[in-house]
């Protein structure tokens, strides 16, 4: 039984650009898949193919049990789409925008009005409901766009970079709304450039690069693939590097020639892969103490999604800069990529 969103071998070329090079996806009903990848990886093209906006050259796609290429109209009635390029009408008020969507879906005027009020409340737009969307800030437009996608509570939702360009507070607010939505049983495919967004919202993460899914799993599974936990020790005296390194070797999961203990001389730092968590850490500290090796720092480091991304793609994930609450902000798709680091968990 394929999931609520299923794709097999999707290929799409634009001229000589292969935007999709055989994308496979399977999203079980009621779960969230995070499609994670750098600019140009093929995220938006995947979403556009799955939502009937674009016809792939090859492949198969089934959404909510319906064949996307044979019955696009039926698919459209079963999905909600919140785009990277918001579908908000500037010259209508927030309330009118939402009511219009309801009417497009053939809701009765009264029901459409009630639904609009509910969503305006939920998305903190009630105060601005009767202003034209033209006067809205970037964050407010995003929220209106998302609300518009939810007018008919579709069983399957697609969100293309829903929080790109938002400031952290607005991003957090949207995450809360998305979580609420998903707890109601909606299946969601969400694309993002933000590693912690995928970590936070998605059950499963598919890493996309150059039009292909290069890895898929839960955040923990992907992190485990990247090599599990490590101990990092920074010794106080340069002369102690040797002794500390020999000691860490004894606890290492791997030999020095198989990616085991690593020494960074200039930082007086020694790292080795281990398993055993805090208990092992305590033992290492005792042993260092017994040998009179003074340390400046010691910690357990687990791989972050950043490490996963780096090891899979050979380059760091990039995210667009935050452009805050400027009216009309958050619509541009050009990535002035600023490297985005997630703090390492120690």
Q: Which does 267 bind (CB under 5 to 8 A by kind): Mg ion, ligand ADP, none?
A: none
User: 105 is written with which tokens?
Assistant: 């879906």
User: Tokens 């766009």 label which residue?
Assistant: 145
Residue 164 engages ligand ADP in binding (rule: CB under 6 A): no
Using CB under 5 A, count the residues that bind Mg ion.
2
Cα 96 to chain centroid, rounded: 31
Q: Which does 344 bind (CB under 5 to 8 A by kind): ligand ADP, Mg ion, none?
A: none
Beta partners for residue 302, in sequence order: 345
Residue 17 engages ligand ADP in binding (rule: CB under 6 A): yes
Q: Which does 45 bind (CB under 5 to 8 A by kind): Mg ion, ligand ADP, none?
A: ligand ADP
Q: How far apart are CA 96 and CA 101, in angstroms?
A: 9
* Least CB distance to Mg ion at residue 64 (A): 23
Of 327 and 333, CB closest to Mg ion? 333
User: 252 is written with which tokens?
Assistant: 């290492």
Given the rule CB under 6 A, which of 43-51, 113-121, 123-131, 260-268 is the region that contacts ligand ADP?
43-51
Q: How far apart are CA 244 and CA 262, in angstroms?
A: 11
Question: Order of strands, edge to edge, in the sheet holding 269-273?
Answer: 262-264, 269-273, 230-235, 295-301
Position among 36, 43, 81, 330 found at the interface with ligand ADP (CB under 6 A): 43
* Least CB distance to ligand ADP at residue 41 (A): 4
Residue 19 engages ligand ADP in binding (rule: CB under 6 A): yes
* Least CB distance to ligand ADP at residue 157 (A): 17
Question: Cβ contacts of residue 241 below 8 Å, gap of 6+?
Answer: 235, 263, 265, 268, 270
Q: How far apart are CA 6 and CA 10, in angstroms?
A: 10
Start-to-end C-alpha separation, the chain: 41
Of 20 and 270, CB closest to Mg ion? 20
Residue 59 engages ligand ADP in binding (rule: CB under 6 A): no
User: Buried (b) or exposed (e) across 127-146, using 16+ Cβ within 10 A?
Assistant: ebbeeebeebbbbbbbbbbb
Position among 34, 38, 44, 198 found at the interface with Mg ion (CB under 5 A): 44
Closest among 321, 305, 304, 43 to 168, alpha carbons compared = 321
Of 45 and 261, CB closest to ligand ADP? 45
Of 41 and 166, CB closest to ligand ADP? 41
Given the rule CB under 5 A, which of 39-47, 69-77, 231-239, 269-277 is the region that contacts Mg ion?
39-47
* Least CB distance to Mg ion at residue 71 (A): 26
Of 39 and 332, CB closest to ligand ADP? 39
Closest among 296, 294, 316, 292 to 304, alpha carbons compared = 316
Residue 42 engages ligand ADP in binding (rule: CB under 6 A): yes
State the number of CA atoms in the 13 A half-sphere of 225 facing the CB: 17
Closest among 174, 214, 221 to 194, alpha carbons compared = 174
Position among 4, 5, 25, 41 found at the interface with ligand ADP (CB under 6 A): 41
User: 246 is written with which tokens?
Assistant: 């020999």
What does the DSSP 8-state code read for residue 291? T
Helix (H/G/I), strand (E/B), else coil: 290? helix
Residue 189 engages ligand ADP in binding (rule: CB under 6 A): no
Residue 39 engages ligand ADP in binding (rule: CB under 6 A): yes
* Least CB distance to ligand ADP at residue 322 (A): 18
* Least CB distance to Mg ion at residue 40 (A): 8
Using CB under 6 A, count the residues that bind ligand ADP.
11
User: Tokens 């790109």 label which residue?
Assistant: 164
- Binding interface with ligand ADP (CB under 6 A): 14, 17, 19, 37, 39-45
- Binding interface with Mg ion (CB under 5 A): 43-44
């Amino acid at each position: 039984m394929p999931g609520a969103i299923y794709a097999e071998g999707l290929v799409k070329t634009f001229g000589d650009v292969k935007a999709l090079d055989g994308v496979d996806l399977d999203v079980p009903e009621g779960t969230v898949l995070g499609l994670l990848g750098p600019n140009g990886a093929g995220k938006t093209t995947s979403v556009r193919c799955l939502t009937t906006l674009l016809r792939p050259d090859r492949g198969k796609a089934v959404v909510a049990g319906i064949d996307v290429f044979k019955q696009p109209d039926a698919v459209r009635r079963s999905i909600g789409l919140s785009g990277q390029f918001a579908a908000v009408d500037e010259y209508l008020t927030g309330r009118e925008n939402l009511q219009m969507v309801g009417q497009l879906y053939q809701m009765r005027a009264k029901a459409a009005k009630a639904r609009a009020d509910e969503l305006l409340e939920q998305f903190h737009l009630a105060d601005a409901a009767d202003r034209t969307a033209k006067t809205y800030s970037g964050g407010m437009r995003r929220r209106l766009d998302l609300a518009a996608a939810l007018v008919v509570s579709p069983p399957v939702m697609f969100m293309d970079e829903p929080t790109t360009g938002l400031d952290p507070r607005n991003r957090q607010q949207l995450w809360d709304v998305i979580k609420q939505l998903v707890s109601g049983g909606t299946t969601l495919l969400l694309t993002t450039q933000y590693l912690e967004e995928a970590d936070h919202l998605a059950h499963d993460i598919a890493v996309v690069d150059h039009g292909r899914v290069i890895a898929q799993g839960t955040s923990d599974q992907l992190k485990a693939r990247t090599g599990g936990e490590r101990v990092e020790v920074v010794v106080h005296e340069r002369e102690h590097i040797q002794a500390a390194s020999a000691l860490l070797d004894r606890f290492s999961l791997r030999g020095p020639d198989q990616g085991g203990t690593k020494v960074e001389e200039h930082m007086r730092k020694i790292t080795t892969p281990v398993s055993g968590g805090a208990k092992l850490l305590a033992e290492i500290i005792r042993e260092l103490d017994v040998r009179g090796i003074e340390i400046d720092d010691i910690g357990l480091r687990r791989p972050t999604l950043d490490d996963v991304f780096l090891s899979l793609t050979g380059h760091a994930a990039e995210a667009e800069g935050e452009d805050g609450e400027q009216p009309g902000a958050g619509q541009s798709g050009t990535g002035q990529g600023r490297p985005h680091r997630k703090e390492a968990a120690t």
